Amino acid sequence: MSLFEDIVKKLDLKKFDSVIAVGGGSVIDVAKGLAVIAKCGGSIRDYAGFDKVPDYPDWKSIMIPTTAGTGSEISEGVVLIDEFIQSKILVLSLKICPTIALTDPEMTISMPPNITVNCGIDALVHAIESYTSIDANALTEPISLRAIELISQGLKPAYEHGDDLDAREAMQIGSTMAMVAGMNAHMGLCHSLAMPLCAIYHMPHGQACGMALAPVLEFNSVVVKEKVMNIFEVMGFMDKDAGDDTLTSDCYEKIESFLKEIQISARLSDFGFKDEHMETIVKETMKAVQRQFNPRKPTEKDIAGIVKRMI
């Protein structure tokens, strides 16, 4: 947030009529945020939440992602860390969607392995949460499932062999598809938890979403059991045709094993979790705008239980 505000102070935004962003989600989100301030003024905090941007930016925005994960090149969101409240703020409005998105897997080949997996896990969780969302529908569900399949197939090869263009293409297509579904069906509790986790522990967004995935899926399975089984099936962790149609602890352990193989920790203790952090994590998760789209409505006690499962 402080960096964003410093850019706003140093630039005369009225002098520009367009913005071109080449980079990852943070770069693209900053560009979209600048377009909002150029048109509407004030602080980006004024527009945090759902549909609080009063008008369409005048700027043309051209986004060229060099990562495959955030989907920010087509999304309606701006995410920034607010150091003051120790959480992220999220601006969501269809008015801020980019004008043009240019995606090319060759732009992602130079991504280091750690960035590849953190971005890729973010995309995977976009696909999964849009599939289980209360706003999921007949149009978004097949897009979400195909995105889950593409990302599950492409992520590990892209991590292990960065020059594997087929894997990079699967990741790029899967990432964009995941956000197409996500924009229409929205995210859920994993992304809600990521807001305070990223701010408190300074971990990558994909890391936060990934470590929350297994416990959140287990929590949600009470109300979307069939969908959770479909997710495990397209990820290759379950074969319903072979009679493998029971959700057990082994299913969730397979997700954690998959994360471990690509060096994504599933434990908050690896990041210095302290008991006194719990109150902030629960409070900020409950405040997150994405929480309302989760298929099962969590209480503060539920969120604390999920966090304990992550320790």
Query: Tens of pLDDT along 139-161?
Result: 999 999 999 999 999 999 999 99
Q: Tell me the C-alpha distance between 245 and 199, whole Å.
A: 38
Q: With cut-offs at 50, 70 and 90, classify the pLDDT of residue 96.
A: very high
Q: Indicate the length of the chain as a whole number.
A: 311
pTM: 0.89
For the residues 37-64, what does the mean pLDDT come to?
Answer: 95
Fold held by 2-101: Rossmann fold (3.40.50)
Q: Tell me the C-alpha distance between 111 and 24, whole Å.
A: 10
Q: What is the pLDDT of residue 41?
A: 95
**Token couple for 24:** 């990852």
What residue ranges do the domains of the chain occupy? 2-101, 105-310
Task: Please report, to the nearest 10 degrees, the dihedral formed by the alpha carbons of residues 311, 130, 98, 193 taken in order.
Answer: -20
Q: Tell me the C-alpha distance between 166 and 171, whole Å.
A: 9
Q: What is the pLDDT of residue 127?
A: 98
8 Å CB contact between 108 and 68 = yes
pLDDT at 2 over 80: yes
Work out the percent of the chain whose per-residue pLDDT is above 90. 88
Q: Tell me the C-alpha distance between 307 and 291, whole Å.
A: 15
The predicted-structure confidence for 160-177, as pLDDT tens digits, reads as follows 999 999 999 999 999 999
Give the chain's mean pLDDT.
94
Superfamily of domain 105-310: Dehydroquinate synthase-like - alpha domain (1.20.1090.10)
Q: With cut-offs at 50, 70 and 90, classify the pLDDT of residue 246.
A: confident
**Which of the two residues, 129 and 239, has the higher pLDDT score?**
129
